[in-house]
Amino acid sequence: MEEISEDLAVQKKYEELIEACRANRQLTADEENNIFRAFTIARNAHADTRRKSGELYIFHPLEVALIAVKEVGLGPIAVVCALLHDVVEDTDITLDNLSAIFGDRVARIVDGVTKIDKATMIAEQNADFSSQAENYRKILLAMCDDAYVIFLKLCDRLHNMRTLGSMKDTKKLAISSETQYLYIPLAHRLGLYNIKTELDDLVMQYTNPDKYAEIANQISQTVGTELKLKECFTAPIRQLLDENKFHYTLKTRIKSVYSCWKKMQNKGVQFDEIFDLYAMRIILDLPETEGLDDDEKRKIEKEECFKVYALITGLFRPQPARFRDWITTPKNNGYESLHTTVMSPIGRWVEVQIRTTRMDRIAEKGMAAHFLYKEAHPDEPVKQSPVEEWLQQIRSSLEDPNKNALDLVEEFKETLYTKEIYIFTPKGKTIKLPARSTVLDFAYAIHSELGEHCIGAKVNARVVPIGYRLHSGEQVQVLTSQKTFPTEDWLKEVQTQRAKDHIKDYLRNQKKDYREQGEEKLKEFLKKVKLRENPEHIARLKLYFNSESDIDLFYRIATGDITEEAMMQCFHLKRSTPQLLFLQPYQNLFAPDGENNSRKPGDKSTITTSPFLTDSDHENLETQPAPCCKPVQGDRVIGIVTDNKIMVHRTNCPTAIHEMSTHEDRIVRTRWRPGEKIAFLTGFTITAIDRHGLLQELTRIISEDMNLNMRAITLEASEGVGRGLIMLYVHNLGDLDRLIEQIRSIDGVEQVQRV
């Protein structure tokens, strides 16, 4: 009976998928047949498999396909690939089978979405190796060939995050960290804001569940305010738009939990101080632009959006600092809209977004909207999108054989959230660069030879050095010298991957020229100290001097960076400078105060065991609180194996998130040992109006009211504002939260934030 009901549920889900596809556009007979064949193959292939939750596995590819259709707007090809995306990885079906049935494109997309088989991976198993990063590289390379790969990976990840509750705790944190590390920035870069917002919230539920629940509860209590806003804010706007005969749709939204938390962290404000908690979207339908060319259509759209902007700001007082014109200068993922923030009649700031239906389609579907339009109109010439240009730029970097996967993924991530600036050449040509780009980036963007000989530039007729950071609208004339060539220091002066790659290529070629000279010097040294020249000795030198390659080692020897004296120390042919060594029981007497597990001076409690418990496989490893996030009793924590010990981080610590997303095998389930009363070093920053008696009031609350021991306090005042850092010992999270609340209640204190 249960099997029958499951079969019916599967069939019902498939019919829902077909209806969703038809709602997007009319399907041909071949498209419907392909979807049915893919569904049948996937259903049979996964017939005996269930997910951790206990449900039939086939529900997962069906849900991924539904997300692809309903939330991204993808078509039949994506549906077929979504249904088949796990069959190669988990069953006996091969890519050749899929290619024979559905064609090469479907096989390529499924291959791009499939993880690398670890058994076939050829790579050095060292500290820098990461199977996750190798998978990222494979996905990103496949994405450059066909963007549907990353669309489907995002759909797959979204459904996995929605159903993460049935996984074990360490797996939840690993998948959440990986999502935050790569997939959320990708969703942002591709303009899939709805998916990004949901992923942000889902990640926070697992990495910072207490704060998520607290903010979600505060949002739920604002329902009354939202209803009042609709009465006194939405109604007048509708009346105004109707009177001016606009065709439009109004949508309202309340800020997501994660967005609220991020605003509170970045601005140091409380929940009730978030002024853009509410937003309204006005979507204009402009049927009169049908049939016009792109330039004429965009001109009319811009004019109509600004007319609505003028009406809204005439009705409600705007905040000038919050005006954003993404129509004149769209974002680098194609996003277009006018944003303004106005004061509502009930004293609440409300963000108003004004756009057309075309702009809204791009805002909702992001980069997918461009590719879907090309598929629907294959014979119509379409301008290349900014995102396609971006994909072309990153491909050469991803294929570089001299970079390991972790470095490549880090470089790729740098491009995801980057804002852009527009720089003019002396002849008026516009060059688009990432924000914070320098003169050297600009020179390499024009031509590699110009970059290699750059000595500076004239920016708006003023001479500046190669490291000068450019600003939008500046006109730049590059200055060169044939006697100037790239150096290692140039890598610190550039932001763009193009400039970095050209500089590294030059340095790599230069190092090759020094290879023979360095090899000869090494031979002479080995002969002098009566050592044989063999691969083991070269490997030892590379490890000792942290050289990435033989070429790098020989270059450093040739240029004198590695001396004979240093090589003698490497082979223990010369004693190094004596160092004082202490037995462990006495070492803490000579360590700087606070480095030892942050035990409170004068605390009578003795520490006989670690404050942390781990699983049985790791109980022999030493555990230490991580200095980057300073966990205290009560924080949710996770252990990361580092240098044969376990560093214990807070689950939302950026360092831990990075490690979990690239080295899942190092994660150790860790929890606080019950009953231990240990003082931990932690701290918080404070921003306050500078006034007489502020420091005295701070120390009274910390030392007298809370009876806590301070390690250090620094306060600086400038232009009437005091900023400081306070480090102290607390026993648990509750003590720290109570202290922060008391500090916030002091007159003049604007911001208190835990470090």
Active site members: 89-90
How far is the C-alpha of 571 from the C-alpha of 551, rounded, in Å? 20
Q: What are phi and psi of 519, to 5 degrees?
A: -60, -40
What residue has token string 């088989």?
117
- Which residue(s) pair with 475 in the sheet? 424
How far is the C-alpha of 177 from the C-alpha of 175, rounded, in Å? 5
* List of residues 6+ apart from 428 with CB closer than 8 A: none
| Helix or strand (DSSP H, E) at 420 | strand 420-424
Q: Give the per-residue SS3 of 143-171.
A: HHHCCHHHHHHHHHHHHHHHCHHHCCHHH
How far is the C-alpha of 490 from the C-alpha of 512, rounded, in Å? 19
How far is the C-alpha of 309 from the C-alpha of 287, rounded, in Å? 20
Residue 665: DSSP 8-state? G
**Dihedral sign from CA coordinates of 96, 97, 100, 104:** negative
* List of residues 6+ apart from 531 with CB closer than 8 A: 537, 571
The answer to whether residues 98 and 88 touch, using CB atoms and an 8 Å cutoff, is yes
Amino acid in position 394: I
Crossing angle, helix 193-207 and helix 257-267, to 10 degrees? 70
The answer to whether residues 67 and 155 touch, using CB atoms and an 8 Å cutoff, is yes
How many residues in the chain? Answer: 755
Q: What are phi and psi of 152, to 5 degrees?
A: -70, -35
Residue 56: DSSP 8-state? B
Q: How many CA atoms lie within 13 A of 732 on its CB side?
A: 8
Strand pairing category for 278-284 and 349-356: parallel
Q: How many CA atoms lie within 13 A of 322 on its CB side?
A: 17
- Which residue(s) pair with 667 in the sheet? 640
Of the candidates 176, 116, 180, the residue with the CA atom closest to the CA atom of residue 142: 116
